[in-house]
């Protein structure tokens, strides 16, 4: 479990509660909506109007200032999210700016508890994030870009994700030197260096002259 290594001394004024969906995972099952649903069900029963619910994905990268800056941008809004999401595949060292300006990726959003009923309506959709923002009154939303507070990391171990960035055919900008990732997350980029397998040096494949990956826009 990705939270097992966190020392008790680090957990100042907060705790980890693990909520699991039932029935348990079976091969071939996409667990994203089920897992989030279990967590939302737990926190929504104890949340107050002053609380903020964050969607944090354990395989993505968050800067140390992520929560602080997100809370700053919440203000009187009900939903917030950072735009221009960067996907970075650490296996191939390719990255892309999704150019999403009308919605934020799921791992970069937060919302007030009163928005939970709307959020729950999205779980049957393939892309929860796009659906969520399509259902919300735009006057309640603050979409912003704050210098890339989080990065969608693709390619690390685990069950395959549904996003385009997980695919070996992911075609985007090359970062063989690792300079781009370092420019946005600094020395933390060193933690991802060992994943590179050299596939990124292979010319990008095309189907019918078009990229296999294109930015997913709302």
In the chain, which residues have pLDDT < 70? 1-2, 24-30, 158-171, 199-218
Q: Are 104 and 82 in contact (CB under 8 A)?
A: yes
Residue 216 lies in a domain: no
* The pLDDT value given to residue 161: 56
Q: What pLDDT is stored for residue 217 in this prediction?
A: 38
Decide if 115 is inside a domain.
Answer: yes
Q: Which domain holds residue 149?
A: 8-211
Q: 59 lies in a domain?
A: yes
C-alpha distances out from residue 156 to 67, 93, 145, 194, Å:
24, 12, 26, 11
pLDDT recorded at residue 211: 38
Measured CA to CA, the distance from residue 175 to residue 201 in angstroms comes to: 10
Angstrom distance (rounded) from CA 194 to CA 171: 21
Question: Which residue's entry shows tokens 């619910």?
Answer: 53
Residue 7: the pLDDT is 83
d(CA 71, CA 108) in angstroms, rounded, equals 12
Domain total of the chain:
1
Report yes or no on 218 lying in a domain: no
Query: How far is 141 from 143, CA to CA, in rounded Å?
Result: 6
Is residue 37 assigned to a domain?
yes
**CB-side exposure of 148: number of CA atoms within 13 Å?**
21
Task: Map residue 192 onto helix, strand or coil.
Answer: helix
Residue 207 lies in a domain: yes
The pLDDT of residue 30: 62
User: Can you tell me the distance from the alpha carbon of 26 to that of 24, in angstroms, rounded to the nearest whole number?
Assistant: 7
* CA gap 113, 85 in Å, rounded: 24
Helices assigned H by DSSP within the chain: 32-44, 66-74, 116-120, 128-135, 179-185
In a domain, 1, yes or no: no
One DSSP character per residue, 76-98 reads T-SEEEE-SPEEEETTTTEEEE-
User: pTM score > 0.75 for this model?
Assistant: yes
Does residue 164 contact residue 152 with C-beta atoms inside 8 Å?
no
Cβ atoms 96, 211 nearer than 8 A: no
Q: Is 171 within a domain?
A: yes
Assign residue 32 the CATH number of its domain.
3.90.550
Give the pLDDT of residue 190: 95
């Amino acid at each position: 479990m990705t939270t097992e290594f966190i020392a008790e001394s680090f957990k100042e004024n907060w705790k980890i509660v693990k909520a699991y969906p039932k029935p348990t995972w079976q091969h071939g099952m996409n667990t994203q909506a089920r897992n989030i649903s279990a967590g939302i069900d737990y926190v929504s029963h104890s949340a107050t109007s002053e609380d903020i619910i964050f969607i944090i994905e354990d395989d993505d990268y968050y800067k140390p200032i992520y929560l602080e800056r997100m809370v700053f941008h919440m203000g009187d809004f009900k939903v917030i999210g950072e735009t221009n999401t960067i996907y970075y595949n650490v296996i191939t060292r390719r990255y892309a700016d999704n150019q999403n300006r009308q919605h934020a990726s799921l791992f970069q959003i937060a919302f007030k508890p009163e928005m939970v009923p709307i959020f729950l309506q999205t779980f049957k959709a393939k892309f929860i994030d796009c659906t969520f923002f399509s259902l919300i009154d735009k006057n309640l939303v603050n979409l912003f870009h704050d210098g890339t507070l989080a990065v969608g990391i693709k390619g690390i171990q685990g069950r395959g994700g549904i996003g385009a960035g997980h695919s070996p055919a992911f075609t985007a900008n090359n970062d063989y030197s690792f300079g781009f990732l370092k420019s946005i997350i600094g020395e933390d980029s060193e933690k991802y260096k060992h994943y590179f397998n050299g596939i990124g040096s292979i010319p990008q494949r095309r189907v019918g002259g078009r990229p296999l990956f294109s930015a997913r826009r709302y």
